[in-house]
Structure 1
């Protein structure tokens, strides 16, 4: 339950703003913290023969030549006026624009009369700190146009842009719906990269636990546990979103593209299964950590117990001959001191032999 509270209150802990209570539906309010100095719109225009790209700052690019597919990629969501202007130009529904700026939305697909709205999460994993960062991505598909919204200046869609530039595969010869699919597929592919990094972190933690568990190992396991729970919250509804995308009868989505989307659904199921598997592994690592700590503590206690047990007869002998009685025959023995030391030594050797024979050492 404590992890659930941490996930639920993580937004408050990092100071994410909340939408104003009572605001009318369709109000564009940015609920994130990322802000960029230069919010810009990147325009990519292409067809089977040509490819052009341009970047403009704080304004909507001019219309491009007809017959081409236009991809408007806005980076930076805190400038909500530009979000509204870009969305209004392509007839985005006010509720879709509200969801673009609300980074706490779950992945989903919404169909409108003149467009299709897709929303999902992108992840990045820092192997050094074992921290997972999340970025919300929104995609709007309309006639021969795709509009995307990213929170950061970094380009999540660089591989897709590169494929367009070199005309790799079928992407330049297909419609805007295939571009929307390619963008979603690119984000899902990044999930596998993040999960590979998490797997490496889990392997490193397992080696650390088996060799020498440390105090910070528990915190590292807890961080990975929270990261996987965060991914699970986003990948579970992603299955529904991709399923709706692949089964949609919207006129903007062709049957040919739906075949690729259904293959993407298999990838999403694989991601979901991996997240669940790694969650189980993380829970197993925590149990292993507790068991290893208990085993080492038991080993220490066993060693201390053996040492204490060895000294019990020695203390008994030393206590007897440490008494101040005058009439003790052994006190007048010439070699009594050495005999006593020999008896003590034999007691030590005998007890060690007995412990080893019983498997206590």
Structure 2
């Protein structure tokens, strides 16, 4: 039951899937809630010797590329399904592929079609100050001499890839479109390690704060980290299968040279999966540590209160005896009876403290 509630909490802020009941396969329905004021389409043309880039709003560039040149369309804003369909149809995207692009609830997968290959995965960004994990679905469609990427938000997830293209650094400018698709997927997975590093630092900070002074809000922070790691686990587990299919695919658009790099990428996915599992165990350990620290501090408080109460029990007994309304109490007529009673009380306190320390209760 606890795991069920955790999963429900992890998906509570994810928009519910909205489908048209009875609609034929290939019907495009955007299942997200993020809407951009302006949909951006970034076009990049490059080959070994040239690099050109441009940006348009709510339009599809009409330039055609020649043999040996790669065109990369980067569309940001999936709510504009008409533009998604228009861009996809230009390069022969299958209706089922277009349906998957605008359905942000898709699990990471690879689908091969006659005209191209569709790769879908999640992009993660972790914000330490808010302890929040930002999730965005990214689709990479590979066609002949063309790569099309679809992003939910307006942020540039592929800034490092653009920089490599612009500076002609590495192999990317001299290789075909399938290598660009690999580089884009590799860039997203590299950001997994960045997010996990941020989560690790948050775990270290939480551990230090728990050991110093556990607070009530610490429990909520641990819970948020649990949800973030659960979300990453749900996305990283099927990612291994997707990368395996990508690396072993016999599709005509994926060359053997690129497949060698993709197979190496599979090791990175395994590392991500292992790190997610490790940090989940650490998070569970932090929760146990938090509960232990709270219990220890509570026991310390109760121990102190118990000792104080135990010390005052015999003193209350003596005060009660001499506070009774009997006419004949011999000690009441002693000239030094008051001071004798204080001496007895202080002696009892000293003996009890000595006994508690000997028993290591103090």
Query: Any idea what SS the aligned residue of 2:112 has?
Result: strand
Contact kept in structure 2, 1:43 and 1:73, CA below 8 Å: yes
Deviation at 1:7, TM superposition (A): 3.5
What is the distance in 2 between the residues matched to 1:89 and 1:210?
A: 59
What is the distance in 1 between the residues matched to 2:345 and 2:90?
A: 96
What is the distance in 2 between the residues matched to 1:20 and 1:350?
A: 81
Contact kept in structure 2, 1:43 and 1:72, CA below 8 Å: yes
Query: Any idea what SS the aligned residue of 1:105 has?
Result: coil
Residue 39 of structure 2 corresponds to: 39
Matched, 1:99 2:100: yes
Residue 159 of structure 2 corresponds to: 158
What is the distance in 2 between the residues matched to 1:179 and 1:96?
A: 19
Query: Any idea what SS the aligned residue of 1:350 has?
Result: helix
Residues 203 and 169 of structure 1, relative CA distance in 2, 3 Å threshold? same
Residue 203 of structure 2 corresponds to: 202
Contact kept in structure 1, 2:15 and 2:31, CA below 8 Å: no
Residue 145 of structure 2 corresponds to: 144
Contact kept in structure 1, 2:10 and 2:228, CA below 8 Å: no
What is the distance in 1 between the residues matched to 2:10 and 2:283?
A: 20
Structure 2's unaligned 5+ residue stretches are: none
- Bigger mean CA deviation after superposition, 289-298 or 117-126: 289-298
Deviation at 1:15, TM superposition (A): 4.8
Deviation at 1:21, TM superposition (A): 1.5
Residue 318 of structure 1 corresponds to: 319
Residue 131 of structure 1 corresponds to: 132
What is the distance in 2 between the residues matched to 1:263 and 1:13?
A: 34
Contact kept in structure 2, 1:45 and 1:64, CA below 8 Å: no
Match runs of 1:1-361 below 5 Å: 1-5=1-5, 7-8=7-8, 15-16=15-16, 18-67=18-67, 68-361=69-362
Contact kept in structure 2, 1:16 and 1:33, CA below 8 Å: no
Contact kept in structure 2, 1:3 and 1:226, CA below 8 Å: no
Residues 216 and 9 of structure 1, relative CA distance in 2, 3 Å threshold? closer
What is the distance in 2 between the residues matched to 1:145 and 1:10?
A: 36
**CA RMSD, Structure 1 to Structure 2 (Å):** 1.4
What is the distance in 1 between the residues matched to 2:359 and 2:153?
A: 65
Residues 303 and 232 of structure 1, relative CA distance in 2, 3 Å threshold? same
Query: Any idea what SS the aligned residue of 1:207 has?
Result: helix
What per-residue deviation string (whole Å, max 9, x for no partner) do you get for residues 140-169 of structure 1? 001111010001111000100000000111
Contact kept in structure 1, 2:10 and 2:230, CA below 8 Å: no
What is the distance in 2 between the residues matched to 1:194 and 1:233?
A: 15
What per-residue deviation string (whole Å, max 9, x for no partner) do you get for residues 17-42 of structure 1? 51111111101111101111111210
What is the distance in 2 between the residues matched to 1:233 and 1:14?
A: 13
Aligned residues: 361
What is the distance in 2 between the residues matched to 1:143 and 1:132?
A: 35
Query: Any idea what SS the aligned residue of 2:326 has?
Result: coil
What is the distance in 2 between the residues matched to 1:17 and 1:113?
A: 28
User: TM-score, normalised on structure 2?
Assistant: 0.97
Deviation at 1:308, TM superposition (A): 0.7
Query: Any idea what SS the aligned residue of 1:136 has?
Result: strand
What per-residue deviation string (whole Å, max 9, x for no partner) do you get for residues 87-124 of structure 1? 00000111010000000000000011121110000011
What is the distance in 2 between the residues matched to 1:344 and 1:11?
A: 63
What per-residue deviation string (whole Å, max 9, x for no partner) do you get for residues 124-144 of structure 1? 112122111110000000111
- Bigger mean CA deviation after superposition, 346-355 or 264-273: 346-355
What is the distance in 1 between the residues matched to 2:7 and 2:278?
A: 20
Query: Any idea what SS the aligned residue of 1:147 has?
Result: strand
What is the distance in 2 between the residues matched to 1:246 and 1:106?
A: 18
User: TM-score, normalised on structure 1?
Assistant: 0.97
Query: Any idea what SS the aligned residue of 2:163 has?
Result: helix
